[in-house]
Amino acid sequence: MNEKISINFCVPLVSKIFYSSNHFYHAPLFYAQAHFVCFLQFCPCVLNVFLLQILKDFNMTAEIQVHELFKKYPNGTEALKGVSLEIQKGQFFTLLGPNGAGKSTLVKIMTTLINKDSGDFSIAGINPEVNQSKIQNIIGVASQDNEIDPTEKVEKLLVFQGRLFGLTKPEATKRANEFIQLFELEKERNKKAGALSGGNKRRLHCALALVHRPRILFLDEPTVGMDPVARANFWEVIALLNRKEAVTVFLTTQYLDEADKHATEMALIVAGEIQYSGTIVDFKKMVNPNGGLSLDDSYLQYIKTLSNQELSVN
């Protein structure tokens, strides 16, 4: 509504300036100005609509934009065949698809671990390939491929990660302690990362991804190897960050119950191509218009309709 007030205030002001200006005496210019002023005075609604649309477009710039992304590995595997996606700020998005569909490849490209062949993408309006360091401050990545120094202790790793991304020492220490508690790593605090169990290593990956307060979180199969209690705690933390701090979440998982419970938007990728992109609710309706199916069942039902040829990558 502020936009409307400012436009309605500006129109008479602008016309007053025009009428009182010396240009008034230059006939052709005067006529042009008069028309412009009339337009401003009599069409404030039109202007409001335009202005609101511009503001809307500005605010609605997708947090993650992917356009026609292609990736072929040196062995000839075409992992991505023109993938396009849009994820808005604060969305909890999940990318689903069978093994080998291209999920990790897409995450690796977006987090600048590997290069694309062609296409465009932007994260928070930034081209990650041009401004890699800026992107690393904005995103957090929890993936099984994360490399952790096995000789370093858990608490030290977390503080170091915070410092690396610009937190002061007291801030980094506070954040490290918060995540040690949240992910129940108290007993592991002084253990070397290499000595952790598989599940605890996953918790450490997630804590490391979050410690610098990223605004976008990439979670690639984050709960593999976690016990049920650890999984529940993990999702509580992520759901809270998404709800309270509007952190955008990009999740890949094979645990569709987790995606069903927490995500609202999804895309389905099969053999390097996006087959569906939209809300989870609409996906379920598309598969079974009568409703009542879980995401797990809807996904299975959809995949069963595809032929082996459609499922194979090349």
Task: Write phi, then psi, for 81 (nearest 5 degrees).
Answer: -125, 70
- Of 102, 128, 214, 222, the one binding ligand ADP by CB under 6 A: 102
Q: Smallest distance from the beta carbon of 105 to ligand ADP, in angstroms? A: 3
CB of 142 to ligand ADP, least distance (A): 15
The residue range among 72-80, 177-185, 238-246, 288-296 that interacts with ligand ADP, by the rule CB under 6 A, is: 72-80
Q: How far apart are CA 286 and CA 257, in angstroms?
A: 18
3-state SS assignment for residue 124:
coil
Does 84 interact with ligand ADP (rule: CB under 6 A)? no
The reply on whether position 105 binds ligand ADP by CB under 6 A is yes
Nearest-approach distance from CB 79 to ligand ADP, in angstroms: 4
The correct pick among 81, 103, 205, 212 for binding ligand ADP (CB under 6 A) is 103
Locate 201 and state its tokens. Answer: 């290593």
Tell whether residue 101 is a contact of ligand ADP (CB under 6 A): yes
Among 96, 97, 214, 223, binds ligand ADP (CB under 6 A): 97
Distances (CA, A) of 141 to 60, 244, 280, 306: 24, 19, 23, 32
Report how far apart, in Å, the C-alpha atoms of 235 and of each of 33, 43, 246 are: 60, 51, 15
One-letter amino acid at 162 equals G
Among 94, 104, 111, 298, binds ligand ADP (CB under 6 A): 104
Distance from C-alpha of 53 to C-alpha of 262, rounded to nearest angstrom: 31
For residue 54, what are its two tokens?
């511009």
Determine, following the binding rule CB under 6 A, whether residue 222 of this chain makes contact with ligand ADP: no
Rule CB under 6 A: choose which of 2, 22, 99, 308 binds ligand ADP: 99
**Residue 5 to residues 17, 45, 76, 195: CA-CA distances in angstroms?**
19, 11, 59, 62
* Residue 140 within binding range of ligand ADP, rule CB under 6 A: no
Contact 62, 114 (CB under 8 A): no
Which of 79, 167, 217, 219: binder of ligand ADP (CB under 6 A)? Answer: 79
User: 272 to 301, contacts with ligand ADP by CB under 6 A?
Assistant: none
What Cα–Cα distance (Å) separates residue 69 from each residue in 24, 131, 249? 55, 19, 20
Residues in contact with ligand ADP by the rule CB under 6 A: 73, 75, 77, 79, 97, 99-105, 313
